[in-house]
């Protein structure tokens, strides 16, 4: 018997009982609660907020953190959660990635004890939502050039500036905002009702339509001193969050790629042209073979990355390799599936084009494909070629 389509190298055998069980639970939740609504959510450009309490109940928010009501799972389990969420849609995985890796993680790693106690248990349950503001209109790949500033004034910080392309921006109760101070870049917790804080939804997106994306504005926002993340220290702090999130992305996009492969195989077995299923044509089989091989290679990268992470040996350049490779192959799988589906592939009746459009964002955010090439180039040569 041939190996299973979505587990060609029988990686399942390397997973433990808890990892398999978590994947099964998340898979069932996604099938029951997300798949039936995702196509419409994408088409209407809305994030399906109604799933948030269930994500919390299942322990999927900030799942890798320990204590404070978080599940404390290992990195393989965390990766499998991201994979199953993105099998539905990159926008759903983005919600969970931002909440866990970009908001809960910096509070956990750089926050005070009272900040952790105040936010983490509520965020794990999905009762409070967060967003992460690093990108600015004029500073995307070079966040170190940010213009947002925080100046100390008595017992408050005064924040001025703007952020853009912020996931969860209009639904967030708290924004982790990175700003320049006289001591360098620091992180601040900006609560949604702070006077001078505004958020506006970004419309007309052709990608990540089932995700909330916003611009944030800070006009003389006065933030209590205790809302500074005390252990945040320079650009390496937000970059540390991105390293966490990128491991989840490397796993997550596999979910989208696997959904596409499954759709491509099923469709090609059923679509008849020239009196034969198109699956019987060598050119179609070559495309399927390529997708399956790339997915398998990407699964192995993820597995080893998670092992390195849990043993404390993971290097950010290894994360860059996995993010860069896996997003690129997932996007290629989505495009090939769209191709195999012919004209039907351009409709939302199938998943391929939705994944394809979403993955264009994933190719760009959390370090563009090119930026990760430069990180790898620096790791290999010792020479930074960013500027
Ligand atoms: C839907 C969506 C959600 C997002 N969510 C968030 C979020 O929650 N929080 C947040 O802070 N940000 C978020 N982002 C922003 C994202 O991280 C940025 O878009 C990304 O960092 C790239 O920045 P940019 O779009 O300004 O592109 P630019 O930096 O302007 O890059 C444009 C092009 O130039 C290339 N380039 C840039 N510099 C170099 C160089 N040195 N050498 C070679 N090529 C180079 C890039 O690779 C790219 O091809 C999101 C973006 C999207 C689309």
pLDDT score, position 133: 98
Summarize the confidence of residues 60-75 as an average pLDDT.
Answer: 98
- Of 199, 368, 376, the residue with max ligand 1 atoms within 8 A of its CB, to mutate for a pocket test, comes to 368
What the block records as the tokens of 103 is 């908001």
Nearest CA to ligand 1 atom 7: 166
Just list the catalytic residues: 366
Q: Is 365 touching ligand 1 by the criterion CB < 6 Å?
A: yes
CA dihedral (42, 44, 47, 51) in degrees, to 10, reads -80
CATH of domain 236-381: 1.20.140.10
In angstroms, what is the span from residue 351 Cα to ligand 1's centroid? Answer: 25
- Cα 189 versus chain centre, distance: 21
Q: Is 386 touching ligand 1 by the criterion CB < 6 Å?
A: yes
182-205 pLDDT, tens per residue? 999 999 999 999 999 999 999 999
Q: Which CATH architecture has domain 130-227?
A: Beta Barrel (2.40)
Q: Does domain 11-125 have CATH number 1.10.540.10?
A: yes
288-313 pLDDT, tens per residue? 999 999 999 999 999 999 999 999 99
Sign of the CA dihedral with 110 first, then 115, 116, and 122 last: negative
The pTM of this model reads 0.98
pLDDT score, position 186: 98
What the block records as the tokens of 332 is 């290629």
pLDDT score, position 17: 98
In angstroms, what is the span from residue 238 Cα to ligand 1's centroid? Answer: 15
Residue by residue, what is the 3-state secondary structure of 146-198? CCCEEEEECCEEEEEEEEEEEECCCCCCEEEEEEEECCEEEEEEEECCCCCEE
Which atom belonging to ligand 1 lies closest to the Cα atom of 141? 29
In angstroms, what is the span from residue 141 Cα to ligand 1's centroid? Answer: 5
Q: How many CB atoms lie within 10 A of CB 347?
A: 12
pLDDT score, position 221: 98
pLDDT score, position 306: 98
239-278 pLDDT, tens per residue? 999 999 999 999 999 999 999 999 999 999 999 999 999 9
Q: Are 199 and 170 in contact (CB under 8 A)?
A: yes
237-247 pLDDT, tens per residue? 999 999 999 99
Domain ranges of the chain: 11-125, 130-227, 236-381
């Amino acid at each position: 018997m041939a190996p299973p389509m979505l587990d060609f190298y029988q990686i399942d055998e390397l997973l433990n009982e808890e990892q398999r069980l978590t994947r099964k639970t998340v898979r069932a939740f996604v099938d029951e609660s997300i798949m039936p609504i995702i196509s419409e959510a994408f088409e209407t450009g809305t994030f399906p907020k109604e799933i948030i309490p269930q994500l919390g109940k299942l322990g999927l928010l900030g799942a890798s953190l320990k204590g404070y009501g978080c599940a404390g799972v290992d990195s393989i389990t965390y990766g499998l959660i991201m994979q199953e969420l993105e099998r539905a849609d990159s926008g759903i995985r983005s919600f969970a990635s931002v909440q866990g890796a970009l908001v809960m993680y910096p509070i956990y790693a750089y926050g005070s004890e009272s900040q952790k106690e105040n936010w983490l248990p509520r965020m794990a349950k999905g009762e409070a939502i967060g967003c992460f503001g690093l990108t600015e209109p004029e500073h995307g790949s070079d966040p170190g050039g940010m213009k947002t500033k925080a100046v100390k004034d008595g017992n408050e910080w005064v924040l001025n500036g703007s952020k853009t392309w912020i996931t969860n921006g209009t639904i967030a109760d708290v924004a982790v905002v990175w700003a320049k101070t006289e001591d360098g870049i620091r992180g601040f917790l900006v609560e949604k009702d702070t006077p001078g804080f505004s958020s506006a939804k970004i419309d007309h997106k052709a990608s990540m339509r089932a995700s909330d994306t916003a611009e944030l504005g800070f006009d003389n926002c006065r933030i209590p001193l205790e809302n500074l993340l005390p252990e945040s220290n320079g650009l390496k702090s937000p970059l540390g969050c991105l390293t966490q999130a990128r491991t989840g992305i490397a796993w997550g996009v596999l979910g989208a790629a696997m959904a596409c492969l499954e759709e491509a195989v099923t469709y090609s077995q059923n679509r008849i042209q020239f009196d034969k299923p198109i699956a019987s044509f060598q050119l179609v089989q070559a495309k399927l073979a390529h997708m399956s091989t790339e997915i398998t290679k990407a699964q192995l990268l993820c597995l080893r990355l998670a092992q390195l992470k849990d043993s404390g040996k993971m290097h950010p350049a290894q994360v860059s390799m996995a993010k860069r490779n896996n997003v690129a192959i997932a996007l290629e799988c989505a495009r090939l599936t769209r191709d195999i589906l012919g004209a039907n592939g351009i409709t939302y009746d199938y998943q391929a084009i939705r994944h394809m459009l979403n993955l264009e964002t994933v190719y760009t955010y959390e370090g563009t494909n090119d930026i990760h090439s430069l990180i790898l180039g620096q790791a290999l040569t010792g020479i930074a070629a960013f500027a």
